[in-house]
Amino acid sequence: MTTVKLTIAYEGTDFCGFQRQAQGERTVQAELEKALQRLTGEVPKLIAAGRTDAGVHAKGQVVSFTTAARIPVERWPAALNANLPPDLIVWQAEAVPATFHARYSAKTKTYQYIVSRRRWPDPFLRRFSYHYPHPLDVAKLRTAAAALVGEHDFKGFAAAGSAVATTVRRLDRVVVEEEAEELFFTLRGNGFLYKMVRNIVGTLLLIGSGKAEPALVEEILAHGDRRAAGPTAPPHGLTLLSVEY
């Protein structure tokens, strides 16, 4: 048996998220498993570093599985890519120890959220960014973003309905960069709660637009009340950039 680690990318637009669903929806997992089955005859149990939601993209998602197939590891990308659609690609395959687990072995994950501030939506960015043509005080938004760095209880930034042992997470990096008329939010942390990045971005936009003060972030971290946070930013602005092991 070999444990294989795949680094993959996908454009989330036409996927119903990563995870296989009961109704046979088009998901990343379903497409990958179909390709693996065609190659090996097996349906391996696929583990993803982060199960991205419908519409969310990935440039460096990591999945792992164990297989009896005797395909040399350097042959996996070509073999799989020949069986995958153009919106899903395998960048790299590595043989890893059997103890490797794409999700539990991950030290940190890095997400990027793109907000496009152009007056009119750019046809080239429409699939990958949230069009937000409203005035923003970027300095204020950055002050608020800085307060997120460190270990905190992010309960107030998590969507309801996910059962997790603890809502404490550590964010190592929260930066907001401007390039042309786009804002790039980059968040790296040791774990992310359900819809946490999108809720953080929604809250930062609320603050940047002047509808709340930067102190709101610290308040939400203190009291953990989701209702005080901003609306969840839409999925298509979000990309899982990389997973660090």
Please give the annotated binding residues, written as ranges: 111
82, 207, 65: which is closest to 135 by C-alpha? 207
Burial 124-144 (b: 16+ CB within 10 A, else e): ebeebbbbbeeebeeebbbbb
Say how far apart CA 36 and CA 41 lie, in whole Å.
Answer: 7
Say how far apart CA 88 and CA 31 lie, in whole Å.
Answer: 8
Q: Which of 36, 49, 90, 174 binds a copy of itself (CB under 8 A)?
A: 90
Closest distance to a copy of itself from the beta carbon of 35 (Å): 14
Let me know if 172 is a catalytic residue.
no
Burial class (CB in 10 A: 0-12, 13-18, 19+), 102: buried
Note whether 128 binds a copy of itself by CB under 8 A.
Answer: yes
SS3 89: strand
Closest distance to a copy of itself from the beta carbon of 125 (Å): 10
Q: Which string of x and - marks every residue 12-51 that binds a copy of itself (by CB under 8 A)?
A: ----------------------------------------
Binding range to a copy of itself, per CB under 8 A, among 9-17, 95-103, 105-113, 181-189: 9-17
How many residues at the interface with a copy of itself, by CB under 8 A? 21
Which of 14, 53, 137, 225 is the catalytic position? Answer: 53
The label of the residue with tokens 């890095």 reads 110
Q: Which of 42, 66, 101, 122 binds a copy of itself (CB under 8 A)?
A: 122
Residues labelled catalytic: 53
